[in-house]
Amino acid sequence: MAQAGAAAMPLIVGLIVLFGYLKGVNVFDAFVEGAKEGVSTSVRLLPTLVGLIVGVTLLRSSGLLDAVCHLAAPVAQALGISSEILPLALLRPISGSGASAYTLSLLQQFGPDSETGRIASVLASSTETTFYAVAVYFGACGYRHLRYTIPAALTGDFAALCLAIFTVKCFG
Amino acid sequence: MLNALWFGMIVASVLYALVSGEIGNLSTALLDGSSTAVELTVSMLGSLCAWLGFLKIAEKSGLTERMAQVLSPLIGRLFPEYREDLEIQGKICMNLSANLLGLGNAATPLGLSAMRAMSEKNPSDVPSRGMILFVVLNTASIQLLPVNMATMRASCGSAEPFAILPHIWIASAGALLCCVTVCKLVEQREKRIANS
C-alpha cells in the first residue's frame, strides 16, 4: 500500500512529460515557464505564512491552547471519550505539524489499536489544516473578506470529529 | 474574519501569558514562529516550482483540458460559474486529483494556480462562490490512501495500521459533504435574496 503511494508521484510526472513530448510540446521550456510562477507565488505567500505561524506559535507557547483544552475535559467525559481527544480536535484545524506531533504522542501513550488511538488516527486524517489552507489560498490572491468560508470549513471539521468518534464506537 | 481571528489569537495569547507568567517564552516563540514560516516557504519553494512546471507541460499538451472534459459533469455541477471555462476546470481537476492521490506537495501549487486563474476572472474584490467552495474543498480531506497515518501507526507498533481506513473514508466523506452542503445552502440563499 505504502509502495503504491510512493509510486504515484513519479508515475504521474512520467506520464505528463511523455504525453507533452508526444504532443510536440517543448517540455523543458514549458517546465521553466511554469516553474517561474512558483517563485513569485511563494514570495507572495511568505507574509501570510509568517503572520499565521507566529499567531499559532504564540497561542501554543503562551499555554492558552492547553488551558482551553483543559476546560474542554468535562465535554469529553460527557461524550464518553478520553479527554485527550478534544485537544486534537482543537489543534487539527489550526496547526498541521502540531496535530501530527500530538497524534503521535496519543498513539504512543494509549497504543495505536486502542479506542483512543483509533479515534485520534481517524480524526487526524479525515480533515486538513483548515486555517492554513484558507490563509494560503486567499492570502496568495489578496482577498480580505472571506464571506462564509470559515463557517463552512469548520462545519466540516466538526462533522469529522463527530464521525471519527461515531465510526470507531460503532465498528470498533 | 481572519482579521478578527488573528487579532484575537495574538492579544489573547499575550494577555494569558502575562497572567500565567509565561511571558518570557513568548519572545522566543515569536522569533521561532517567523523563522519556521521562512523555513516552510524555502522548503516549499522547490516543489512549488517543480509542480507548476509540470502543470504547464500538462496544460500545453492539452492533458488538463482532457481531464477537465472527463470530469466536467461533476466539476460543472459544483462550480457552475466556470462551466464554460475548461482552463479553470482543468486546474481544479489537477488539484482535486493530487488531493485524492495524497500528493499534498503537488496539491497546494496546483490549487494556488487554480485560485489565481479564478481571481483573474473575478471582477469583484470579494471572492467568488467558486473560489470559496474550492478553498473549502481543500480544507476537507479527500485522500484515498492516508499513507502517512498508516506509516505513523505502524511505527507505533500497530497490528493493523490500515484497519481504520473505512472509518477515515466515512469521516472524511461525511465532513466533505457537510461543508459542500453549507456552501451550496448559502449560495442558494444569496441567489434568492438577489432575485427578490
Gap from A93 CA to chain B (nearest CA, Å): 8
Is residue A149 within 8 Å of B136, Cβ to Cβ?
yes
Measured between CB atoms, does B117 come within 8 Å of chain A? no
Q: Is B4 on the interface with A (CB under 8 A)?
A: no
Chain A residues whose beta carbon lies within 8 Å of the beta carbon of residue B111? 137
CB contact under 8 A, A153 and B22: no
Q: Is B135 on the interface with A (CB under 8 A)?
A: yes
Q: A31 to chain B, minimum CA–CA distance in Å?
A: 4
B114: closest CA among B167, B59, B74? B59
Give the three cell numbers for residue B106: 503537488
A-chain residues within 8 Å CB-CB of B49?
35-36, 38-39
Q: Do B14 and A30 touch (CB under 8 A)?
A: no
ipTM: 0.84
Q: Tell whether B189 lies on the interface with A, counting CB pairs under 8 A.
A: no
Does residue B57 belong to the interface with chain A, where contact is any CB pair within 8 Å? yes
B120 vs B129: CA distance, rounded Å: 14
pLDDT at B178: 96
pLDDT band at A1 (very low <50, low <70, confident <90, very high): very low
Q: What is the DSSP string of B3-34?
A: HHHHHHHHHHHHHHHHHHT-HHHHHHHHHHHH
**What average pLDDT does the structure give for chain B?**
89
Among A45-49, A138-142, B112-116, B150-154, the range with the most confident prediction by mean pLDDT is B112-116
Alpha carbon A97 to its chain's center? 8
Residues of B within 8 A of A101 (CB-CB) are none
Q: So what's the pLDDT on residue A28?
A: 96
The grid cell for B142 is 479527500
Adjacent-strand bridge partners of B140 = A127
Q: What is the pLDDT of residue B170?
A: 94
- How many angstroms separate the Cα of A27 from the Cα of each of A51, B114, B129? 37, 21, 34
Average of per-residue pLDDT across B152-156:
89
What does the alpha-carbon distance between residue B107 and residue A136 come to, in Å, rounded to a whole number? 12
Q: What is the pLDDT of residues A54-87, one digit of tens each?
A: 988 898 888 888 888 788 888 888 888 888 888 8
Is A122's CB within 8 Å of B108's CB? no
Give pLDDT, residue A4. Answer: 58
Confidence band (pLDDT; 50, 70, 90) for B71?
confident
Answer yes or no: are the C-beta atoms of B115 and A140 closer than 8 Å.
yes
B27 touches chain A (CB under 8 A): no
How does residue B65 score in pLDDT terms, banded at 50, 70 and 90?
confident
Q: What's the grid cell of residue B28?
A: 522566543
Task: Select the residue of A12, A13, A107 nearest B153 (Cβ to Cβ).
Answer: A107
* pLDDT tens per residue across span B42-53: 887 888 898 889
Contact between B158 and A45 using a beta-carbon 8 Å cutoff? no
Provide the residue ranges of all domains of chain B, joining segments of one domain with +.
47-122, 140-196
Residue among B52, B119, B177 whose CB faces A38 most closely? B52
Q: Residue A127 and residue A125: Cα distance in Å, rounded?
A: 6
Helix, strand, coil shares of chain A, percent, nearest 5, are 80, 0, 20
